[in-house]
Amino acid sequence: MEQKILLTPGPLNTSRTVKEAMLYDLGTRDREYQDMVETLREKLLDLAHVSKEEYSLVFLQGSGTYGVESVLEGSVGKQEKVLILSNGAYGERMEQICKAHGIPYQIQSFSKLKKLPVNELEPYIAQEDITYVAFIHCETTAGVLNDIEEIMELIHRHKKISIVDAMSSFGSMDLNLKSLGIDFLITSSNKCLHGVPGVALIYGKKEAFERCEGKSDTLALNLYEQWKDMEQSHGAFRFTSPTHVLLALNQAVKELEEIGGITARHEHYILLQKMIRDAMEKLGFDAPVSKEDQAPVITTYFIPDWMDFSHFYEWMKERGILLYSGKLPGYQAFRIGNIGDLTVEDMERVRTEICNYVKEYKR
């Protein structure tokens, strides 16, 4: 097997040192490991600009969706209701979760190619029977970045509780959970934090977790129990801890600090994205998302008439580069991600190969 350049939205390329951090087998009930988990939780709170007096960071075994499911299922009571503001597949996934658990919900769907229209949202948020409002910060479907500050302001104005899926944005841009006043935020180890897949990260206000008592009907996904246990047992997990995943995440966070933190990573992503976007523009590819609405993590391109995407995909794959198909119903599109442990040289190579392909096959 050879190393690939992953232009996907997760899992992503990880550094050699992140992978090497997993070479140790640690006991999950051992002090050394548990101290590392606790220190990592504190570091992750720092990255979100919150203190452990007000907020808590809960690890949940599984991919990001496990975290979203745990929060929706464990927080919204059967007598309450969650409003989902959706502009993509991940908003729709929240609806699937609500359906699966019989969680009372209302979904408002908007264009997948644009930001959520902030000036149209208030009447929905203001509805009296709504307790929670859930939305996606960066909708990875088309690569759209929603206006988190403005949406949070509306949520506060109407005293609702917020659930933010920041899976593909946390780590790609600085988010101050305290000043934004976010109640729950979900991200995962394997997106912009550059860890390996296997654990979801759930940030929450202490009072938001406290409200969850007795609400969950699940055992392993039970948000309240996972939180309470993690707060009380100093780095132990209720069920088998993903020790290697946490070792990798610990190393990944260290490396994030070393490069200068989230702001530096943001700048780097912007640079990589621009390299590809400029080249694609020159080659005549159209991007359906405007630059104002574009998230710094992944870009959608229309598949031009002359191109057979599966041929392009296989051709790039032979050269060690994995592209990502589109997920927009009604559009022929594909996506190019720019997150993960990628260098400018990697992106130069991607750019060169795309140019070569276009030269060879464009009719």
Nearer to ligand PLP, 272 or 307 (CB): 272
What is the C-alpha separation between 7 and 11, in angstroms, rounded? 10
Nearer to ligand PLP, 96 or 343 (CB): 96
Span from 57-65, 125-133, 211-219, 239-247 in contact with ligand PLP (CB under 6 A) = 57-65
Span from 143-151, 162-170, 310-318, 341-349 in contact with ligand PLP (CB under 6 A) = 162-170
Query: Phi and psi (nearest 5°) for 55?
Result: -120, 165
Q: Does 140 bind ligand PLP (CB under 6 A)?
A: yes
74-76-78-82 Cα dihedral, nearest 10 degrees: -150
Which residues ranging from 277 to 316 are in contact with ligand PLP (CB under 6 A)? Answer: none
Which of 8, 34, 162, 168 is close enough to bind ligand PLP by CB under 6 A?
168
Smallest gap, in angstroms, from Cβ of residue 12 to ligand PLP? 10
Span from 62-70, 173-181, 225-233, 236-244 in contact with ligand PLP (CB under 6 A) = 62-70
The pattern of x and - marking residues 185 through 224 that bind ligand PLP according to CB under 6 A reads ---x------------------------------------
Span from 161-169, 240-248, 310-318, 346-354 in contact with ligand PLP (CB under 6 A) = 161-169
What is the C-alpha separation between 28 and 305, in angstroms, rounded? 54
Residue 164, helix vs strand vs coil: strand
Q: Two tokens at 188? A: 């995962």
Smallest gap, in angstroms, from Cβ of residue 140 to ligand PLP? 3
Residue 61, helix vs strand vs coil: strand
Q: Does 63 bind ligand PLP (CB under 6 A)?
A: yes
Burial of 312 (0-12, 13-18, 19+ CB in 10 A): middle
Which of 18, 98, 142, 167 is close enough to bind ligand PLP by CB under 6 A?
167
Q: Two tokens at 338? A: 């720019």
CA distances from 273 to 7, 109, 351, 355 (A): 11, 28, 11, 16
Give me the DSSP letters along 203-261: EEEHHHHHTTTTT---STT-HHHHHHHHHHTTT--SS---HHHHHHHHHHHHHHHHTTH
Nearer to ligand PLP, 34 or 86 (CB): 86
Q: Does 65 bind ligand PLP (CB under 6 A)?
A: yes
Q: Two tokens at 77? A: 């009571």
Span from 48-56, 60-68, 154-162, 177-185 in contact with ligand PLP (CB under 6 A) = 60-68
Q: Does 90 bind ligand PLP (CB under 6 A)?
A: yes
Nearer to ligand PLP, 63 or 216 (CB): 63
Q: Directed axis angle between helix 148-157 and helix 118-126, to 10°?
A: 30
Cis before 288? omega within 30: no
DSSP conformational letter for 163: E
Which of 136, 142, 354, 358 is close enough to bind ligand PLP by CB under 6 A?
136
Nearer to ligand PLP, 103 or 199 (CB): 199
Instruction: Give me the residues that bind ligand PLP (CB under 6 A), please.
Output: 9-10, 63-65, 90, 136, 140, 165, 167-168, 188
